[in-house]
Structure 1
Amino acid sequence: MLVLEDVNASYGSVVALWGVSIRVEEGEMVGLIGANGAGKTTVLSTIAGVLRPARGTITFGGESIVGESPEDIVRKGIALVPEGRRIFPGLTVEENLRLGAATRSDRLGIQQGIDEMYQRFPILGERLHSSGGTLSGGEQQQLAIARALMCRPKLLMLDEPSLGLAPKLVGDVFDLVAELQDTGVTILLVEQNVAKTLQIVDRAYLMRTGRIVAEGPAYELREAVDIKSAYLGAE
């Protein structure tokens, strides 16, 4: 479904990604893990069209998306839930959801989609007239995910969905992400919480200073000695 091959990306003269190659197959949940500053968010920005790669290829569904605008990439079926949620705090829950469908023109389908989001995320249905800024952190994360789902993505990219949440809510968010995959959503999950990520993803890539330094099935990475010592608290 999604293939990155030998991708370099830069912010001005600073190279942020070096030869990154990643693939995500339909129906999979793939993790992109590593410490803060490893380049994980830059990978998502490059896929989403916010940052153009300096080298390499990115294909989605067999077609190149390099050089496409972020809006066109959304239309092709890739949605991003950004780090920090970035909902519109002054708009109501329903208004936020409608913005998620900005690339769609089917009014009836949009309303059906909103109703589906209220079924999937009941708290949003209870708060549909509340402004986004009055929601708790966990509720805002649900709203951010629901907003992304409103464009009916083939691939959902999640950037640090557990960031800034209370410990109990972190578990709830990971449960929610796992449930999304069970409904058939293909997911690329970026997280610093390596232990929990490796519990729910099928495969993962470990990044360090802009490079992929390890990859494989989640169960193999959980047992890798260097990953256990550096990220999972094992001796």
Structure 2
Amino acid sequence: MLDENGGGILHDWDLAKGGRVAESLVSEDGFAHNPYRTGIWYFLSARLLIEPLKIHTLQDDLESFFYLVLYYALRYIPYNQGIEKLKELQSQIFEECRWNSTSGQYLGGEGKFFTITRGYHTLRINFVDHRPLQNWLRNTLGCIAEFYRYCIDTEQKHFEEHEGEPLPLHCVPVPPPPASIGLHNHEYFSSLVKTALEAPGWASMRTYLGDDLDQYVRTRGRRRMSTLVLPRICGPPKRRLF
């Protein structure tokens, strides 16, 4: 986090690893030795939630930023739906998890994967008075979808080349995307953010559906869901909220 003078705060230094240590965490076949995933469950990429042994990459972090913006937009920016839709998206996109006895891990990401591969329209939300936000969400999700198509095509090609061989226990490691893919680095993603922030049409209206949802949870004796106290790092909620 940088301030206007170039100074700032370095977060999560305790989670940093030196180059040699980082290399030792990757197996010869390109998977992580440890299924521990760094991040908040709500905002982890679909591929990290689906495959715990996937190596954490730049593309995962860029995708996480999309979910972070979407999460707070749904809670505090007016759109064409009410609290029932917020509850639905909260459950399907951010909280979705299941225990997998084979891997001995919590898995998730199916709702995110569906949204990415099927398109923004599947969310059924429209930020009518916040066109720059609406356009950014749509364009960014399209950029993420392009990367996922690259991953799917790469995995499909691998299976075709190894037809008849035993299926791998984990997903196929995908090499870094070429320059033709928007998410091959952060530059195109950053340009989408800059374009949205500079565009006219940002309204000042706010909604408080997020606060209403918190109140809904409290009045039913459930665990309070707070925008400040999210699920613990790398772990899903202990139980479903709804």
More helix by share: 2
With structure 1 as the length reference, what TM-score do the two structures score?
Answer: 0.27
TM-score (norm 2): 0.26
Whose Rg is larger?
2
Report the structure, 1 or 2, having the larger strand content.
Answer: 1
